[in-house]
Structure 1
């Protein structure tokens, strides 16, 4: 007779400690089998040397190693469609319940509903928990229950709600003895899942008291290495949002804390308005007659626009998988407003290249620069890509690092005249939205 067990399904929570769903599973009445599924529905759309897949794989191997050495257990690794994996798992094990942490993206919600329905037909409970955010769904809404679509009032209510909220850290170490005792669970290599090791490395994060204290004064200058690089680690859950918020509120500077709240603002927007993944929040902005010139888009992607701060940002992205946030706003605005190229083209390019890609924030920020999203910049706000240099890179250190031919005869001509592009943008936008 098979031994009954519970499954914990790792997804965007690749850590053993302060992991809510894992903690709850370990306190259940049955031994816990941890699993991870390399989902072909996601993987098949990615480049075969994607740095994020290398990072996920390395992180999981490290977690397996810890469990094998210290707890005589492991993580079972699978590759395929989640529904097909679960069809096999119920044949192999007597599963009482499946535990996992919630994911709010449209595909993930549909996937989880399919798994839940399948498991319920076999009398297996599917238990989900809040882990990757402090507040989710409709926990921070207006008094009438409507979602906030402007950041500042959302942020204020988020903070007020947080004051009456006990920030609990979920320590799992005391319960790891409840894992299934089996250190040779199935594993997969990168080549097994059709990938090769990436040459790009996802940087470690830095969240020191000094970085948090100085964040407001240093965060806008791309030549300074003054950002936390926390994005990919929050995206894949290699750090706990609760521990990061705890660090942030320990310091008196609230700007860093408010950046974490922006992330949750965009997450609840995507949850309440899932259509915004592909459509403008302000529907009239979908009437814009984009030029969508493929040659100009290629030059933007390659950092060959003739505008040095735009080009430096795009080359930083292509070379490192990271782009400074101040520069992200400029390159996004340039694509949508100077070139009149659909924000969805830029969003898709960032989705492929950014190590810290997270759908809610990426869509939210792209719609912000395009003017079509919640709390967006007005359409007539058009960044001047030349004066932005004097504001944020006046010594040209960032530009010279990524555009070495800057200020030489080898640098490309400007793809478009700023004044003409601005006037064209105002005309096209006005016709669409007025």
Structure 2
């Protein structure tokens, strides 16, 4: 019995190694990156809304205080006008998290300049510096933002000292810088944390894309192996049988025309069966012998009859022992039938046997299929070594089918003592 090994490009991969995702194997759909971006965008919009509301509230409070505390002040028209200009410039200022551009930076500079003039004219406008802190931190690079915060803090301290009527107060000098330092440190830390989180999410998305590509590749290799085994167990074996029959017919075409015609008719029957197998293979359906609700027992009996007819001198029997405790899955029946086809093909082509027996045994928790022949046998350890130029799949394909179902395939043989191929497949226990 011949054992052929798959080529390197048809190397086996784990069954079910990959499955198609929504757009392909593992293709990334809406994942953590998109959800994180949406959550971050919502948080930024909320922060911007709070900062805008706080700025205009402080601006209105500062203007009201000035008008109430300083009625008739000659600077009142300037204060009112500059307050309106500051409000307008703030509305036209840089958008949150926007990349710094010359025009946006110029608008931010104009906002700060107008605010500074207002602080000189009316120190109560110093409280508007708090929203400006965060605007600068969100708009400028870290070093430039910290420099702006330091300058704004200095103006706040000067304004507080100007408003103080009780002399020098250390609290007015130390409290604003401390608050500004805490706010700046917290904000910078949050920005760095957010950047690290974005990097981690980017790494995750890259990893997902890599895994998706790997799964697609493994899935492609697994499907290629499945198709190669199906073609080997059906079309290739059928074509080999047809070739043998037609060669036999050619040898006796003149001397024994009746025998030659019988060989030709058998080859035509095999061709018809192969055509049905090819059509079902194209549509990814069950083997032809299992189509239309056929059972595994019936399919094995039909296979035995067909193998005996194709070989011309091989007697093939089929024996079924026991009854299934649970319905046999179609995938299991298809795999066992393919194993039987491959084993009988090896018997016909290489064993030189006179008889072969298919034995299907139901053992409750497992199903065992034995294919025994009385042929010349072979050295099993030697046959497990890949042969250069070996064609087909042979025993490796049978072993792969058994492993895909969680079962095992064993081979017992010795030169001159025949061969027994046994496939044991576990079955689900009845509930």
TM-score (norm 2): 0.18
Higher Rg: 2
Higher-helix-fraction structure: 2
* TM-score, length of structure 1 as denominator length: 0.18
